């Protein structure tokens, strides 16, 4: 409901949603995501990661955690293929216990990992704090937290370096703004998770946005997918959030 009301307000004022939220940039740094499954073999993972670089991205995400020992080799080969100029983010999707996360994090540090995302279960503040103190790379997370209040203990404990809310989880743009401002007030990064089409507007309205996840989940269902250039997602200037489903998509669900 909050997302719909912000969309309605922006349309009523003749603005894009980014403009309505206080847009400060026309493009946002992005990392390629969605092609780094932990189930991929090394060759396919390298090929898909290199594909993002060929498309102009200078940062990619690799998912880890199913087989931590194998992940060391997988990330090593991605780093070897992409070179030192590309940032690699590793996401464990809450799969690890604390000892394994510490072990894997130290191994991944050898490959200059830009951040370690959701290494342990999402609501464990103490475990994130211990990782943040022990490992050299930033610890990031928050996609499964459901309000700005749930981020506060992580911020107070200095347990996260970058906050990653999903506005579909926290209750919309209003709460997303609060989380972005919370991050800014404590000198932390902000990197909204998933649903790039919605998050681009919020990311473009905050000066402390670190990255936006480029995960073109909706491309085949919407009229105008997001555009990207030189590793950035371009901020749409259409009224509202600009997400318009195709007739084929509407018809598919009408007949389902």
DSSP 97-149: -HHHHHHHHHHHGGGT-SEEES-S-TT-HHHHHHHHHH-SSPEEE-TT--SHH
Percent of the chain with pLDDT over 90: 86
Measured in whole angstroms, the distance separating CA 164 from the mean position of its chain's CA atoms is 6
Q: In the chain, helix, strand, coil percent, each to 5? A: 45, 15, 40
Q: How confident is the model at residue 256 (pLDDT cuts 50, 70, 90)?
A: low
CB 20 within 8 A of CB 47: no
Which helix (H) or strand (E) segment is 22 a member of?
A: none
Q: How confident is the model at residue 51 (pLDDT cuts 50, 70, 90)?
A: very high
Q: What are phi and psi of 156, to 5 degrees?
A: -65, -35
pLDDT-wise least confident of 7-21, 143-157, 177-191, 241-255: 241-255
Tokens of 166: 């999903």
pLDDT digits (tens, 9 = 90+) for 101-151: 999 999 999 999 999 999 999 999 999 999 999 999 999 999 999 999 999
pLDDT digits (tens, 9 = 90+) for 200-232: 999 999 999 999 999 887 778 888 999 999 999
Over range 6-22, report the average pLDDT: 97
Residue 12: exposure state from Cβ atoms within 10 A (0-12, 13-18, ≥19): exposed
The answer on pLDDT for 34 being more than 90 is no
Sorted by where each starts, the structural domains of the chain and their CATH numbers stand as 2-254 (3.20.20.120)
State pTM to two decimals. 0.93
Over range 24-52, report the average pLDDT: 91
Q: How confident is the model at residue 250 (pLDDT cuts 50, 70, 90)?
A: confident
Q: Nearest-5° angle of CA 124, CA 89, CA 198?
A: 80
CA distance 12 to 93: 39
């Amino acid at each position: 409901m909050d997302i719909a009301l912000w969309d309605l307000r922006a349309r009523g004022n003749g603005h894009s949603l980014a403009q309505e939220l206080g847009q400060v940039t026309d493009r946002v740094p992005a990392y390629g995501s969605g092609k780094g499954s932990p189930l991929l073999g090394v060759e396919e993972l390298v090929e898909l990661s290199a594909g993002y670089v060929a498309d102009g991205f200078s940062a990619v995400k690799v998912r880890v955690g199913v087989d931590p020992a194998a992940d060391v080799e997988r990330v090593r080969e991605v780093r070897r293929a992409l070179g030192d100029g590309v940032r690699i983010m590793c996401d464990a999707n809450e799969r690890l216990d604390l000892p394994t996360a510490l072990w894997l994090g130290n191994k991944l540090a050898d490959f200059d990992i830009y951040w370690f995302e959701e290494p342990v279960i999402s609501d464990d503040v103490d475990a994130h704090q211990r990782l943040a103190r022990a490992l050299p790379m930033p610890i990031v997370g928050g996609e499964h937290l459901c309000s700005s209040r749930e981020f506060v203990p992580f911020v107070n404990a200095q347990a996260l370096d970058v906050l990653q809310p999903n506005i579909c989880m926290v209750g919309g743009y209003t709460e997303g703004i609060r989380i972005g401002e919370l991050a800014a007030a404590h000198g932390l990064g902000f990197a909204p998770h998933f649903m790039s089409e919605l998050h681009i507007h919020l990311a473009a309205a905050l000066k402390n946005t670190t990255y936006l996840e480029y995960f073109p989940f909706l491309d085949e269902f919407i009229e105008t997918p997001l555009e990207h250039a030189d590793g950035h997602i371009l901020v749409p200037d259409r009224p509202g959030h600009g997400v318009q489903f195709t007739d084929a998509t509407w018809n598919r669900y009408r007949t389902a």
